[in-house]
């Protein structure tokens, strides 16, 4: 079976439905919603951030929460000072907020990390020696690369969700007895498509396997519930959840984490250290402290928890309705652009979050991104999106002469005007080409004699 690239002509061309900003449900406000950026023409426009999939903007509520904490910023744990006690309380309360956000069991641990990549590497270090690991080859590098060796099985992703379920069953039949871990993705980093996590988890359970869910791309768009999905571990990145302060989490079963060698060694991970002369005797703390050596990122963790609370309080119905309204408008408009080809794993009809990756016939993806930025004030992503196997396979099957695509990803900061602007810009590019001269600089397209000034706080 093969992955598919869906050409525009396979979907009936329709006119984007009329949508007004007022029609979009009220969602949490983001920082920078009114930021203007310069164009090569000398004008300034409000920035259209259509790259939420890489890093989401900060929620206004998160910024306020951080500002509230900063006057009390101090050491976490074992500090006698009042500010230290405040930060310790904030840090430990955040564990419960994140635990609740992902529907974790009361016995699950919440280990704070830098991001989901860090969390998955931690989990990889904690898997028992000799365990079998099964992954799908279309995963993000964070979920793919930590698992390497003779007991790792990588499944070539089939073209349907049902095929993926069958393929996992076939793979698990071939794994030896003993500890098993299946690594799944909630939503594709490349296409935004939702994976059949519950069905895949049910197959894993029949073989006694544990399940780790990479929810980095899913959690900003849909609720995640460990118990409802019947998975054992979930990893999250706060920077994709509107809290860009360098935090993430591994949430899940405690037993492997309690006995694994500490991910990092140092203060906070120990119960005691004894000098035996020729060596140091060390007693390690249990998880989560076992894997959180060093001064913790209390500001990032507080921001992370604040984002989880803010999204939950506003309600998932509003978040999903906001995105669905705008994403429907985007895809309808894209399918009217000549030469548009959408990348898809399971087909155009598969449910997805607000992410679409595509190519335009005859247009270099890097140049498309550069033009959108320089001439229209729009931020998108181009490349292979840290999922090289998936992206290159999709492009290769389309006969593309490039190994990159363009990705538009929506979120809470997206408006109807952003959608209209990017559609108009792409139509103009296809019809008339770039309005400015461009050249390759350090491997990327850039305007010739780019006149756009950087903000004053950035060194020239």
User: Pick the catalytic residue: 58, 87, 308, 386?
Assistant: 386
CB neighbour list of residue 253: distance below 8 Å, 6 or more residues apart:
107, 108, 109, 210, 232, 233
Is 51 within 8 Å of 382 (Cβ atoms)? no
Q: Clarify whether 308 is annotated catalytic.
A: no
Is 143 within 8 Å of 211 (Cβ atoms)? no
Nearest residue to 164 (alpha-carbon basis) of 180, 185, 143: 185
Helices 365-376, 416-432: axis angle to 10 degrees equals 120
Q: Could you tell me the end-to-end alpha-carbon distance of the chain, in angstroms, rounded to an integer?
A: 51
Cα distance between residue 8 and residue 341, in whole Å = 5
Nearest residue to 252 (alpha-carbon basis) of 157, 184, 151: 184
Active site residues: 386
């Amino acid at each position: 079976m093969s992955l598919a690239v869906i050409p525009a002509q396979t979907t009936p061309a329709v006119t984007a439905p009329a949508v007004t900003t007022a029609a979009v449900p009220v969602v949490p406000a983001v920082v920078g919603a009114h930021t203007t950026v310069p164009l090569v023409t000398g004008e300034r426009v409000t920035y259209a951030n259509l790259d939420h999939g890489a890093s989401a903007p900060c929620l206004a509520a998160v910024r306020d929460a951080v500002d509230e904490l900063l006057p009390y910023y101090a050491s976490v744990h074992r500090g006698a000072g009042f500010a230290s006690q405040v930060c310790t309380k904030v840090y430990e309360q955040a564990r419960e907020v994140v635990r609740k956000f992902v529907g974790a069991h009361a016995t699950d641990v919440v280990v704070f990390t830098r991001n989901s990549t860090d969390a998955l590497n931690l989990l990889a270090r904690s898997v028992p020696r000799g365990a079998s690991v099964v992954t799908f080859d279309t995963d993000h590098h964070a979920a793919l690369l930590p698992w390497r060796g003779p007991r790792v099985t990588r499944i070539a992703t089939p073209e349907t969700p049902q095929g993926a379920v069958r393929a996992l069953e076939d793979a698990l039949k071939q794994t030896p007895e003993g500890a098993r871990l299946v690594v799944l993705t909630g939503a594709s980093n490349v296409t935004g498509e939702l994976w059949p996590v519950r069905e895949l988890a049910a197959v894993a359970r029949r073989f006694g396997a544990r399940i780790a869910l990479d929810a980095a791309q899913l959690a900003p768009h849909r609720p995640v519930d460990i118990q409802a999905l019947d998975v054992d571990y979930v990893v999250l990145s706060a920077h994709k959840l509107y809290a860009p302060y360098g935090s993430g989490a591994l949430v899940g079963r405690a037993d492997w984490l309690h006995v694994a060698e500490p991910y990092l060694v140092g203060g906070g991970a120990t119960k005691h250290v004894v000098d035996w002369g020729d060596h140091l005797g060390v007693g390690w703390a249990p998880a989560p402290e076992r894997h959180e050596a060093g001064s913790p990122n209390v500001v990032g963790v507080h921001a992370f928890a604040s984002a989880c609370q803010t999204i939950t309080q506003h309600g998932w119905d509003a978040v999903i309705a906001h995105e669905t309204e705008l994403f429907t408008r985007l895809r309808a408009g894209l399918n009217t652009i000549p030469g548009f080809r959408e990348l898809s794993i399971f087909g155009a009809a598969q449910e997805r979050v607000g992410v679409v990756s595509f190519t335009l016939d005859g247009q270099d993806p890097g140049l498309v991104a550069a033009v959108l930025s320089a001439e229209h004030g729009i931020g998108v992503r181009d490349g292979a999106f840290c999922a090289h196997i998936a992206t290159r396979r999709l492009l290769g099957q389309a006969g593309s002469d490039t190994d990159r695509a363009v990705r538009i990803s929506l979120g809470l900061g997206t408006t109807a005007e952003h959608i209209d602007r990017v559609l108009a810009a792409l139509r103009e590019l296809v019809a008339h080409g770039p309005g400015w001269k461009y050249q390759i600089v350090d491997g990327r397209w850039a305007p010739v004699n780019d006149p756009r000034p950087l903000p004053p706080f950035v060194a020239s």
